């Protein structure tokens, strides 16, 4: 099964990326995922279910430790080859 995760961390800072956002970005970029897209207002990544779920676990834990007060995420099952 393949999954797509979309997430944002808060609080936002439009002048400089906060520590929790940088941590989240590093977690996703280091995970064994494909189609990673990191942006200022939202991030997405796709991969196998185990890889995505492991990355989401690390993302939640490490972003909260780094000061995130809210993490919004959505996980979708995607069709193979999509």
CA dist., res. 27 & res. 40, Å (int): 16
Structure token digits, residue 5: 């995760």
Helix axes 19-30, 49-65, angle to 10 degrees: 160
Q: Please, which pLDDT band fits residue 81 given cuts at 50, 70 and 90?
A: low
Tokens of 70: 């809210």
**Residue 43: alpha-carbon gap to chain centroid:** 6
- Which neighbouring-strand residues pair with 4? 46, 76
Instruction: Write the pLDDT tens digit of every residue in 18-45.
Output: 999 999 999 999 999 988 988 777 899 9
DSSP 30: H
| Residue 82: predicted pLDDT | 52
Q: Which residues contact 42 (CB under 8 A, 6 or more apart)?
A: 6, 7, 8
């Amino acid at each position: 099964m393949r999954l797509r995760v979309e997430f944002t961390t808060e609080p936002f800072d439009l002048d400089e990326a906060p520590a929790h956002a940088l941590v989240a970005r590093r977690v996703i970029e280091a995970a064994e995922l494909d189609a990673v897209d990191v942006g200022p207002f939202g991030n997405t990544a796709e991969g196998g279910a185990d890889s995505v779920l492991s990355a989401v676990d690390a993302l939640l834990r490490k972003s909260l430790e780094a000061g995130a007060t809210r993490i919004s995420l959505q996980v979708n099952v995607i069709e193979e080859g999509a």
